[in-house]
Amino acid sequence: MIAVVQRVSRASVTVAEPAHHAAIGPGLLILLGVEKGDGDAQTDWLAGKVARLRIFGDEAGLMNRSVIDVGGEALVVSQFTLAGECRKGNRPSFDRAAPPDVAEALYERFVSRLREVEGVPTRTGLFGAMMAVELVNDGPVTLIINTAPAPVTRGL
C-alpha cells in the first residue's frame, strides 16, 4: 500500500459524472494506492501512521503535531497509478495494483479507520472515478509512505 501524504491548507476533489464534490480546510490530502498482497494489517497500520504523523507545526514552528493534535481534516483519494512500475520502457505497468474489488474494500477500510478509530474528520473522492484534485500544499510538506519494503533492483 502506498500513500502520498500532503499537508495542505485546503484541498478538494470534484467528479463530473456522477456529480460529487468534497473539500477540506487545513489537514492532509492522502493519495492512496493499493497493491497486490495488501490486506487489513497494512491498511490499519497505514491509517494509524498517517493520523499520528507529526508534520504540523507547534508553537516553536517545529513539526511536532499530528493532524489529530491540530484538529485537521483528511481528504482521501484512490489512485491506483501509485502502483505503476516505470523502470522498464516508457509505458507504466500496473501489474502491482490490486484488483478493483480488493482495492476498493481496503480503500474503504482505510477511510473508516481514519474516521472511526483515529477520529479524523475524513472526506473522500469516488473510488475508480476520473477526478479533479485541487490543493494548496502547506510548506510544502509531502511524504511517501509504502507499507512494503522497496524491491531490490540490479542493473538500472
Q: What is the CATH number for 52?
A: 3.50.80.10
For residue range 47-81, list pLDDT tens digits in order.
999 999 999 999 999 999 999 999 999 999 999 99
Q: Is the residue at 155 inside a domain?
A: no
Tens of pLDDT along 117-133?
A: 999 999 999 999 999 99
- Report the domain count for the chain: 1
Instruction: Reply yes or no on whether 127 is catalytic.
Output: no
Confidence of residue 14 (pLDDT cuts 50, 70, 90): very high
Query: What is the chain's mean pLDDT, rounded?
Result: 94
Residue 130: the pLDDT is: 94
Task: Say which of 6, 42, 43, 79 is annotated catalytic.
Answer: 79
The pTM assigned to this predicted structure is 0.92
Give me the pLDDT at residue 119, please: 97
Determine whether 110 is an active site residue.
Answer: no
Among this protein's residues, is 79 annotated catalytic? Answer: yes
Residue 97 lies in a domain: yes
Start-to-end Cα distance in the chain: 24
Question: Which one of 80, 124, 127, 147 is the catalytic residue?
Answer: 80
Please write the tens of the pLDDT for every residue from 104-117: 999 999 999 999 99
- Which helix or strand (DSSP H or E) is residue 15 part of? strand 2-15
Q: Is 102 left (phi over 0), alpha (psi -120 to 50) or beta?
A: alpha
Domain of 132, in residue numbers: 2-146
Burial classification of residue 44, based on how many CB atoms lie within 10 Å of its CB (0-12 exposed, 13-18 middle, 19 or more buried): middle
